[in-house]
C-alpha cells in the first residue's frame, strides 16, 4: 500500500527527514510516532504529495508520489490539524460541500454525512456556525470529513482528539472493520497507551530518522524487560512452581500478587500452562511494560 525508500527532506538549516524507509501493507493500522519536531508531519506531507522530497522515492497503491501527487490524493483522505475553516459555514454545509467536491450524488452525500457525523459525534452542533465551535469540536468536524469518502487509505493525525470514550470505542471498531476489507490506516497520536488498542504495527521517528518498526510484542521484546503482574489463588505456591520450572530474572510477592520478570518474553505462555497444571487459578496476567516505555527507550537509544 505504502512504500518509501530513503526519503529525505532538507530545509535551509535542517534535515527534517533523514533516509526514512518503510513499507505499510493493506489491511493494517500503521502507527507513526515521535516527539514534536521529529519529522512526522513532514513525512506525511511527503507521502501525500503535499511536500516534495529532496531525496528518495515513495509510492502509494503503486502510484509514484513524486510524479503523480494529484492521483495519490484522489485515493486517500487526510486528517490533520486545520488552521483555517470556512468560519461562516455550519458543519452540515461544510461536509455537504466536500461531498460535492468528491463528486458524490445527493443521496450518497446524505448517507455518508449521516454516517460520518454519528461516528465523529457532531450531531449536537451540526447547524452551529464553525466560528463558534471549540478546537475539539472543529477537530471532530475534520474527522467527519475524512470518514465520508470511500477510499482505500486514510491518514489520521490525533483522530480521537475531543471525542468521548463511547465514540472512541465506536471509532476503533469502525477502523478495525475498515482495514478488515483490505484498506489501510496511517495513524499518528501522542497517546501511545490508547494506540495499543488499535495499532497493528508501530514506527518511531526521532530527529528525522526512523529508529524502530514492529508490532507491540516485537518492540517490547527488544526494548523492555518481560515483566508481568500475576493475580493467582496461591501466590506462594505459584512462586515456587515458576521459580523451579522457568528461567527468571526475578520473582516476588507484592501485596498479594506475584511480580515476575522473565528471562525471555517467549516464556510468558508457559506461565499460565504451568500454573494450570499445578491446579493454581490464574485470575489475571498483566504485562507491566507499555509502548510509552518503548518510545522512551528508543528515543534515548537504549537497547535491552
CATH number of 246's domain: 3.30.70.260
Domain presence at residue 299:
no
In sequence order, the 6+-apart residues with CB closer than 8 A to the CB of 222 are 212, 214, 303, 304
What tens-digit pLDDT sequence spans the chain (304 residues)? 899 999 899 886 677 888 999 999 999 999 999 988 888 989 999 999 999 999 999 999 999 999 999 999 999 999 986 656 788 999 999 999 999 999 999 999 999 999 999 999 999 999 999 999 998 899 899 999 999 999 999 999 888 888 888 888 999 999 999 999 999 999 998 888 889 889 999 999 999 999 999 999 889 888 888 899 999 999 999 999 999 999 999 999 999 999 999 988 888 889 999 999 999 999 999 888 888 889 888 887 655 4
Beta bridge partners of 60: 2, 63
Domain presence at residue 304:
no
Is 160 within 8 Å of 199 (Cβ atoms)? no
Q: Where are the beta strands (DSSP E) in the chain?
A: 2-10, 15-24, 29-33, 55-60, 63-64, 76-79, 153-157, 184-188, 201-206, 209-214, 227-232, 248-254, 257-262, 282-287
Is 19 within 8 Å of 56 (Cβ atoms)? yes
3-class secondary structure, 19: strand
Q: Are residues 206 and 236 in the same domain?
A: no
Kindly report the pTM of this predicted structure. 0.82
Q: Are residues 180 and 52 in the same domain?
A: yes
Domain that holds residue 80: 2-220
Q: Are residues 132 and 186 in the same domain?
A: yes
Beta bridge partners of 204: 33, 212
Domain presence at residue 202:
yes
Q: Are residues 216 and 229 in the same domain?
A: no
Helix or strand run (H / E) with residue 239:
helix 235-245
Q: Are residues 126 and 252 in the same domain?
A: no
Report the alpha-carbon angle 256-243-232, nearest 5. Answer: 30
pLDDT of residue 244: 94
Q: Are residues 73 and 213 in the same domain?
A: yes
Q: Are residues 208 and 64 in the same domain?
A: yes
Last residue in a domain, options 203, 220, 237: 220
Q: Are residues 271 and 151 in the same domain?
A: no
pLDDT of residue 178: 96
Domain presence at residue 300:
no
Q: Are residues 139 and 214 in the same domain?
A: yes
CATH code: domain of residue 159: 3.40.50.300
pLDDT of residue 83: 58
Q: Are residues 158 and 259 in the same domain?
A: no
Domain presence at residue 302:
no
Instruction: Give the Cα separation of 14 and 187 in Å (integer).
Output: 25
3-class secondary structure, 31: strand
The domain total for the chain is 2
pLDDT of residue 304: 45
Q: Are residues 78 and 162 in the same domain?
A: yes
pLDDT of residue 287: 83
Distance (Å) of CA 60 to CA 39, 44, 102, 127: 19, 12, 19, 36
3-class secondary structure, 208: coil
Q: Are residues 185 and 47 in the same domain?
A: yes
Amino acid at each position: 500500500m505504502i512504500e518509501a525508500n530513503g526519503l529525505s527532506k532538507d530545509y535551509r538549516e535542517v534535515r527534517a527527514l533523514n533516509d526514512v524507509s518503510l513499507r505499510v501493507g493493506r489491511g493494517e493500522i500503521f502507527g507513526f510516532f515521535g516527539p514534536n519536531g521529529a519529522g512526522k508531519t513532514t513525512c506525511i506531507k511527503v507521502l501525500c504529495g503535499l511536500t516534495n522530497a529532496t531525496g528518495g522515492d515513495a509510492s502509494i497503491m503503486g502510484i509514484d508520489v513524486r510524479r503523480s501527487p494529484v492521483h495519490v490524493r484522489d485515493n486517500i483522505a487526510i486528517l490533520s490539524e486545520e488552521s483555517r475553516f470556512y468560519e461562516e459555514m455550519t458543519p452540515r454545509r461544510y461536509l455537504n460541500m466536500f461531498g460535492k467536491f468528491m463528486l458524490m450524488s445527493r443521496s450518497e452525500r446524505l448517507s455518508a454525512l449521516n454516517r460520518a457525523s454519528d461516528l465523529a459525534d457532531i450531531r449536537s452542533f451540526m447547524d452551529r456556525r464553525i466560528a463558534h465551535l471549540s478546537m475539539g469540536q472543529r477537530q471532530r468536524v475534520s474527522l467527519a470529513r475524512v470518514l465520508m469518502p470511500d477510499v482505500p487509505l486514510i491518514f489520521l493525525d490525533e483522530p480521537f482528539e475531543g471525542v468521548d470514550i463511547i465514540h472512541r470505542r465506536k471509532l476503533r471498531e469502525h477502523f478495525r472493520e475498515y482495514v478488515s476489507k483490505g484498506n489501510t490506516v496511517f495513524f499518528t497520536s501522542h497517546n501511545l497507551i490508547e494506540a495499543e488498542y488499535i495499532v497493528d504495527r508501530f514506527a518511531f521517528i526521532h530527529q528525522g530518522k526512523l529508529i524502530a518498526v514492529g508490532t507491540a510484542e516485537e518492540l517490547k521484546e527488544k526494548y523492555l524487560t518481560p515483566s508481568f503482574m500475576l493475580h493467582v489463588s496461591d501466590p506462594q505456591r505459584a512462586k515456587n512452581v515458576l521459580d523451579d520450572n522457568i528461567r527468571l530474572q526475578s520473582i516476588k510477592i507484592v501485596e498479594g500478587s506475584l511480580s515476575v520478570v522473565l528471562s525471555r518474553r517467549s516464556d510468558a505462555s508457559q506461565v499460565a500452562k504451568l500454573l494450570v497444571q499445578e491446579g493454581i487459578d490464574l485470575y489475571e496476567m498483566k504485562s507491566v511494560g507499555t509502548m510509552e516505555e518503548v518510545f522512551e527507550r528508543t528515543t534515548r537509544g537504549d537497547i535491552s
